[in-house]
């Protein structure tokens, strides 16, 4: 596997891990009264520990698409993703190319659905 392909695969696995962690957080927050809820940034940076504050509706919109991820502004890797929505303190990105294929495959393999 080439270095570039290996980097994309590692990044996609990291993003999938953060998405899975956020899905566990969502179950905790479903009955929360707060307008904005803390979710983990789902960027590809292995060392990122930043929190993204969004309304539950925003988070649920991200989960409707298998190649969409919730990020802190400025964390997008524009060679593999595009910003589809930006708001106060968050961006939603869509993975493309190999990164998008991996995100969709992970989505299907883990039985995720909107």
H runs (alpha helix) in the chain: 3-29, 56-62, 97-109
- Predicted confidence (pLDDT) per residue in 2-36, tens digit: 777 777 777 777 777 788 888 888 777 776 777 89
User: How many angstroms separate the CA atoms of 12 and 49, rounded?
Assistant: 16
| 40: pLDDT strictly greater than 80 | yes
pLDDT score at 38: 93
Average pLDDT across the chain, whole number: 85
Cβ atoms of 92 and 70 closer than 8 Å: yes
Domain range annotation of the chain? 3-109
More confident residue, 101 or 90: 90
No. of H helices and E strands in the chain?
A: 3, 5
**Mean pLDDT, residues 82-99:** 93
Confidence at 111, pLDDT banded by 50, 70, 90: low
């Amino acid at each position: 596997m080439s270095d570039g392909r290996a980097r994309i695969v590692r990044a996609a696995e990291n993003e999938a891990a953060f998405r899975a962690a956020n899905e566990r957080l969502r179950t905790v927050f479903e009955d929360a009264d707060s307008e904005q809820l803390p979710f983990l940034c789902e960027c590809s940076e292995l060392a990122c520990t930043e929190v993204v504050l969004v309304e539950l509706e925003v988070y649920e919109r991200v989960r409707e698409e298998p190649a969409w991820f919730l990020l802190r502004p400025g964390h997008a890797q524009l060679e593999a993703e595009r910003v589809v929505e930006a708001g106060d303190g968050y961006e939603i990105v869509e993975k493309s190319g190999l990164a998008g294929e991996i995100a969709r495959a992970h989505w299907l393999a883990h039985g995720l659905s909107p």
